[in-house]
């Protein structure tokens, strides 16, 4: 037997153990591996390989069982070197195509529907990160007078994102003056990236002639007062109950920190933002997470685009004992469907 044969057998047995553990959530023994996969080697040979995998910290050996379970390092080895994304069924592809072709009026509704479908298909917790408003391009801004010192500001981006804020003014304003300021803002700012607008207004105010300095001053004050780009990331989460019925999280002490991470949103949103920034699919496993509440979990995530621009990310959060091949395929396909569907809102 060559070294290549030894490595091949080692990898195949690790793959079999992971596949069995994903299905049963029980430690896997050598006899079980031989029986399920009809191996032409003895259980003793499989035990020797399992022992070597344990020495390499790819498997661990619970004290209460003769079987082994994969470690986070074992899952990482499997995902990086052994895993093959699964071919999705026609029914799964139709379910994802259905949400992306559904007639919805705004991007947020589409993203929430994507999260719902993703949770159903995977049986795990689905995560969809909406585009950060600060990175979007302004289509138009409307200022609506609701009281002498109270103005409703509406921001619409070219991605179809809508943001509103109530502005409380120190002095009363007339409707005609507000309308003039709205026109000025749209003439000067339409087509600008939102996170750059404040700097642009500051510079314009410094360079403005007397005829325009008042308008730029008012525009800058209203923009800062509205705080349009300082909003927290929007994260859609569906299927938390799917996660909590998994054997790993049936005890209250096992899911308390996990629920805290989901309730805070920020730890999971930060992970998906990192995926968007990197621009590629990622699998973060167990102890690789920075947040303690996620160390029993894995997150498979992929970015989506709007008009070619990296805009957000979609992901699945589940126990480390997840079907990575299937989940990876579903996440990739969902990312593609969102990218296509979000293009409808471009103008």
Tell me what percent of the residues of the chain surpass a pLDDT of 90.
Answer: 41
pLDDT one-digit tens code per residue, 103-119: 777 899 999 999 999 99
Does residue 15 surpass a pLDDT of 90? yes
**Cα of 201 vs its chain's centroid, Å:** 33
Does residue 4 surpass a pLDDT of 70? no
> In order of start, what are the domains of the chain with their CATH numbers?
3-82 (1.10.10.10), 90-132+233-345 (3.30.450.40), 134-226 (3.30.390.60)
pLDDT band at 34 (very low <50, low <70, confident <90, very high): confident
pLDDT band at 256 (very low <50, low <70, confident <90, very high): confident
pLDDT one-digit tens code per residue, 267-305: 999 999 999 999 999 999 999 998 888 988 999 999 999
Q: Are 60 and 54 in contact (CB under 8 A)?
A: yes
pTM across the whole model:
0.85
pLDDT for position 82: 94
C-alpha 262/C-alpha 284 separation (Å) is 16
Q: Are 181 and 218 in contact (CB under 8 A)?
A: yes
Ordered strands of the 282-285 beta sheet? 235-238, 125-129, 309-319, 297-306, 282-285
Instruction: Take residue 104 and report the two structure tokens written for it.
Output: 């919805």
Higher pLDDT, 347 or 308: 308
pLDDT for position 1: 44
Instruction: Take residue 38 and report the two structure tokens written for it.
Output: 């009809």
Instruction: Take residue 297 and report the two structure tokens written for it.
Output: 């979990």
Q: Are 219 and 197 in contact (CB under 8 A)?
A: no
Q: 150-158: long-range contacts at Cβ-Cβ below 8 A with a sequence spacing of 24 or more? A: 151/178, 151/222, 153/222, 153/226, 153/228, 155/194, 155/226, 155/228, 157/133, 157/194, 158/346, 158/347
pLDDT band at 211 (very low <50, low <70, confident <90, very high): low
C-alpha 156/C-alpha 124 separation (Å) is 33
pLDDT band at 135 (very low <50, low <70, confident <90, very high): confident
Q: Is 33 helix (H, G, I), strand (E, B) or coil?
A: helix
Q: At how many degrees (to 10) do helices 252-264 and 266-278 cross? A: 60
Does residue 328 surpass a pLDDT of 90? yes
């Amino acid at each position: 037997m060559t070294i290549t044969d030894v490595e091949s057998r080692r990898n195949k047995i690790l793959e079999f153990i992971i596949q069995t553990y994903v299905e049963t959530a029980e430690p896997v023994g050598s006899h079980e591996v031989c029986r399920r996969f009809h191996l032409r080697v003895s259980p003793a040979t499989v035990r020797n390989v399992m022992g070597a995998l344990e020495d390499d910290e790819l498997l661990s050996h619970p004290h209460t069982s003769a079987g082994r379970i994969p470690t986070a390092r074992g899952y990482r080895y499997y995902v990086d070197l052994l895993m093959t994304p699964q071919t999705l069924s026609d029914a799964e592809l139709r379910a994802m195509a259905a949400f992306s072709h559904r007639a919805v009026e705004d991007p947020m509704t589409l993203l929430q529907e994507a999260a719902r479908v993703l949770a159903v298909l995977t049986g795990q917790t689905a995560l969809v990160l909406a585009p950060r408003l600060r990175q979007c391009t302004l289509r138009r801004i409307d200022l609506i007078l609701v009281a002498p010192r109270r103005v409703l500001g509406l921001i619409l981006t070219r991605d179809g994102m809508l943001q509103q804020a109530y502005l409380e003014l120190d002095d009363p304003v007339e409707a005609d003056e507000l309308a003039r300021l709205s026109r000025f803002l749209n003439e000067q700012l339409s087509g600008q990236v939102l996170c750059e607008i404040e700097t642009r207004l500051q510079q314009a105010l410094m360079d403005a002639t007397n005829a325009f300095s008042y308008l730029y001053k008012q525009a800058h004050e209203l923009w800062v007062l509205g705080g349009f780009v300082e909003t927290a990331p929007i994260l859609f989460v569906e299927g938390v109950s799917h996660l909590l019925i998994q054997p790993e999280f049936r005890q209250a002490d096992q899911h308390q920190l996990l629920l805290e991470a989901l309730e805070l949103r920020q730890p999971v949103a930060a992970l998906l933002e990192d995926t968007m920034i990197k621009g590629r699919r990622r699998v973060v496993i167990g102890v690789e997470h920075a947040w303690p509440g996620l160390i029993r979990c894995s997150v498979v995530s992929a970015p989506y685009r709007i008009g070619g621009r990296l805009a957000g990310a979609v992901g699945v959060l589940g126990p480390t004992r997840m079907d990575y091949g299937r989940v990876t395929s579903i996440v990739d396909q969902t990312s593609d469907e969102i990218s296509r569907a979000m293009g409808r809102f471009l103008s």
